[in-house]
Amino acid sequence: MFDSLFSSILASTETSVSISSSAFLLCSLTSLALGVAIAFIYMFKQEHTKNFVVTLALLPVIVQMVIALVNGNIGAGVAVMGVFNLVRFRSIPGSAKDIGAVFLAMAVGLATGMGYLGLAIVFTLIVGIANVIFVLSPLGGTATQQADKTLKVTIPEDLNYCGTFDDLFSQYTSKAELAEAKTTNMGALYQLTYDITLKDATQEKALLDALRTRNGNLQVSCGRPVLAKERL
């Protein structure tokens, strides 16, 4: 009786897929366990939100269900591909690691949906170990990341900021781009926001001192680049 829940009510066996209850439960439990493992892999030294982590943990079992239903049925597979092609993600694109985690969860769901449980487990272990090693290693370097800064300079309203700091930027930075200019203090001041890359990270104070002498000792701040919260 319980096995009948996993068989299609359609009479034609050519357009239906029969799944045993034990196999379905085993694949689902494996997918959930690996989904949790993928969520922990993603959270390792990474800022995250609860919604994304929970979705990541559930994604393998969802993909597994879809793959199990279309397994061996070319027509159903083409139809499902067409449906997924209609989906449009309207939120802000995620970071590179977010996208990688989603692809990992989908790959695991694909493997468990096809019945390759051992392969899915080994693949998750390999990616998890590689992720820990790569995160803890100097791969990618940190010097360039430390040199990337967001610079905010406050100037009086009568100072033309176009080209005013170009000589300082050419001396201390390899890249300086004006990202935003806005009025503040009831229009009496301007606040300029620059995206800069320092030639030498140790020269940050020297740049700030030079800017203070140029803007009348008004507020100057320099910190890590401000990035928008990225969600999928």
Mean predicted confidence (pLDDT) in 98-126: 90
Our CA angle for 131, 33, 28, nearest 5°, is: 130
Question: What is d(CA 135, CA 200) in angstroms, rounded to the nearest whole number?
Answer: 25
Instruction: Please enumerate in sequence order all residues whose Cβ is within 8 A of that of 16, keeping only pairs 6 or more positions apart, or say none.
Output: 7, 8, 10
Count the Cβ atoms, other than its own, within 10 Å of residue 191: 17
Mean predicted confidence (pLDDT) in 46-61: 88
Give residue 47's pLDDT band: very low, low, confident or very high (50, 70, 90): confident
The pLDDT of residue 208 is 93
Give residue 159's pLDDT band: very low, low, confident or very high (50, 70, 90): confident
pLDDT by residue (tens digit) across 172-220? 999 899 989 999 888 889 999 999 999 888 889 999 999 999 998 999 9
Give which of 87, 101, 2 is closest to 47, Cα–Cα: 101
The pLDDT of residue 40 is 93
Give residue 11's pLDDT band: very low, low, confident or very high (50, 70, 90): very low
Which CATH architecture is the domain 143-223 placed in? 2-Layer Sandwich (3.30)
Give residue 225's pLDDT band: very low, low, confident or very high (50, 70, 90): confident
Residue ranges covered by each domain of the chain = 17-136, 143-223
Judge whether residue 226 has pLDDT over 70: no
Whose tokens are 């997924």? That residue is 84
Highest mean pLDDT range out of 17-21, 28-32, 138-142?
A: 28-32
Average pLDDT along the chain: 81
Instruction: Please enumerate in sequence order all residues whose Cβ is within 8 A of that of 187, keeping only pairs 6 or more positions apart, or say none.
Output: 157
pTM above 0.85, yes or no: no
